[in-house]
C-alpha cells in the first residue's frame, strides 16, 4: 500500500532528508515550505517531490494548503511536523518578536498542521504524526529560551495527542535531534559550535539522514506499538 506523507519545512535541511528518504521507500510525498522559492524549486528539480508554499504559523494557510495536497495526492496518512526556526538571543537581549516568531512556527505550527488533518486520520483509523522537537527542548540551551520552550511544548503536545489517537490507530511521537549539520547549526558562532561539538560523545555533528531514518522507522505500519515516545537522536550529548 502506498501511503501519503506531508513534511513541513521539507525542502531544506532535516526536512529535505526526511522527504527524500520517505519517497525512496515508496511513500507519496509532499514537501511544504514557507519562504525560500529557489531552494524549493531546486529541491523539486532534484527529487521530483512536489512542494507547496504556506506558513505553518498561519492556521487558514494550513487548512488551504493541506486541502490542495490532499486533492493532488490523497489523504495525508503521515504528517511530519518538522518546520522550525531559530531567533537565538540571550534572554536579556531577546525581543517579544523573537519570542512570538519562534512560538508561532515551532509550537503553534503543530496545532495548525495537525488539527485540520486529525479528523480524517481518526475516520480512516490510521495515522502517523511525527513531531521534530529538539535536544534543546529536553535540556534547555543558553540563548534559546524561546526555542527551548517551544520545543519542550512540542513534547507535551505529543504525549497528550498520543493518548487521544491511540484507539483510532494513530500514533504520535516526537524525535529530539541533537546538533545536526544543517544551515541552522552552521549559523551558530564557530567558537560556540566548537564547544558544543566537544560535548558530543560521538565527536561530530549528526547528519540529516540520521533523523530521516528515525522518521521512516516511526512511520511504518508495524511501528504501531510505539506511541507517545520521545526519541533522542543526539550522539549521546544528552541522555534522558
Ligand atoms: N555553550 C557555551 N557557551 C556559550 C553558548 C553555548 N551554547 N552560547 C553562548 N555561549 C557563551 C559565549 O561563548 C560567550 O562567552 P564569552 O563571553 O566567554 O566569550 C557568551 O556565552 C556570550 O555569547 P556571545 O558572545 O555569542 O553573545 P551574543 O549576544 O553575541 O550571542 C547567542 C548570543 C546568539 C545566543 C550566540 O551565543 C549563539 O548563537 N549561541 C548558540 C545558541 C545555540 O546553541 N543555538 C542552537 C542553534 S541550532 C538549533 O537550534 C537546532 C537544534 O535543535 C539543536
pTM of the predicted protein model? 0.96
Ligand 1 centre from 132 Cα, in Å? 22
- Residue in the structure block whose three cell numbers are 517531490: 49
pLDDT, tens digit (0-9, with 9 covering 90-100), for 66-79 = 999 999 999 999 99
Ligand 1 centre from 57 Cα, in Å? 26
pLDDT at 213 over 90: yes
90 lines ligand 1 (CB under 6 A): yes
Q: Which of 27, 33, 52, 147 is catalytic?
A: 147
144 lines ligand 1 (CB under 6 A): yes
Nearest ligand 1 atom to alpha carbon 86: 50
89 lines ligand 1 (CB under 6 A): yes
109, three cell numbers: 505550527
- Give the span between the Cα atoms of 91 and 26, in whole angstroms: 44
Predicted pLDDT of residue 1: 81
Q: How far apart are the first and last CA of the chain?
A: 36
- Residues contacting 44, CB < 8 A, separation 6+: 50, 51
237 lines ligand 1 (CB under 6 A): no
Strands 78-81, 127-132: pairing is: parallel
Mutation test residue for ligand 1: of 88, 134, 143, the one with most atoms within 8 Å of CB = 143
The SS3 call for residue 44 is helix
Ligand 1 centre from 146 Cα, in Å? 14
- Name the closest-CA residue to atom 20, ligand 1: 192
Mean pLDDT over each residue of the chain, to the nearest integer: 97
pLDDT, tens digit (0-9, with 9 covering 90-100), for 88-123 = 999 999 999 999 999 999 999 999 999 999 999 999
Q: Is 238 a catalytic residue?
A: no
pLDDT, tens digit (0-9, with 9 covering 90-100), for 156-181 = 999 999 999 999 999 999 999 999 99
pLDDT, tens digit (0-9, with 9 covering 90-100), for 7-37 = 999 999 999 999 999 999 999 999 999 999 9
Amino acid at each position: 500500500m502506498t501511503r501519503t506523507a506531508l513534511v513541513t519545512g521539507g525542502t531544506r535541511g532535516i526536512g529535505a532528508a526526511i522527504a527524500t528518504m520517505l519517497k525512496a521507500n515508496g511513500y507519496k510525498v509532499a514537501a511544504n515550505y514557507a519562504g525560500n522559492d529557489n531552494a524549493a524549486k531546486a529541491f523539486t528539480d532534484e527529487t521530483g517531490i512536489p512542494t507547496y508554499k504556506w506558513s505553518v504559523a498561519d492556521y487558514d494557510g494550513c487548512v488551504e494548503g493541506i486541502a490542495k495536497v490532499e486533492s493532488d495526492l490523497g489523504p495525508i496518512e503521515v504528517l511530519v511536523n518538522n518546520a522550525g526556526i531559530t531567533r537565538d538571543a540571550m534572554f536579556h537581549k531577546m525581543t517579544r518578536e523573537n519570542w512570538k516568531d519562534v512560538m508561532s512556527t515551532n509550537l503553534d505550527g503543530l496545532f495548525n498542521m495537525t488539527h485540520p488533518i486529525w479528523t480524517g486520520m481518526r475516520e480512516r483509523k490510521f495515522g502517523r504524526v511525527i513531531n521534530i522537537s529538539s535536544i534543546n527542548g529536553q535540556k534547555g540551551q543558553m540563548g534559546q529560551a524561546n526555542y527551548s520552550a517551544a520545543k519542550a511544548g512540542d513534547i507535551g503536545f505529543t504525549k497528550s495527542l498520543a493518548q487521544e489517537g491511540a484507539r483510532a490507530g494513530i500514533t504520535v511521537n516526537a524525535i529530539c535531534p541533537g546538533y545536526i549539520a544543517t544551515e541552522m547549526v552552521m549559523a551558530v558562532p564557530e567558537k560556540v559550535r566548537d564547544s558544543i561539538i566537544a560535548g558530543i560523545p560521538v565527536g561530530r555533528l549528526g547528519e540529516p539522514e540520521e533523523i530521516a531514518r528515525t522518521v521512516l522507522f516511526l512511520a511504518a505500519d508495524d511501528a504501531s506499538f510505539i506511541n507517545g515516545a520521545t526519541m533522542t537522536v543526539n550522539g549521546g550529548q544528552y541522555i534522558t
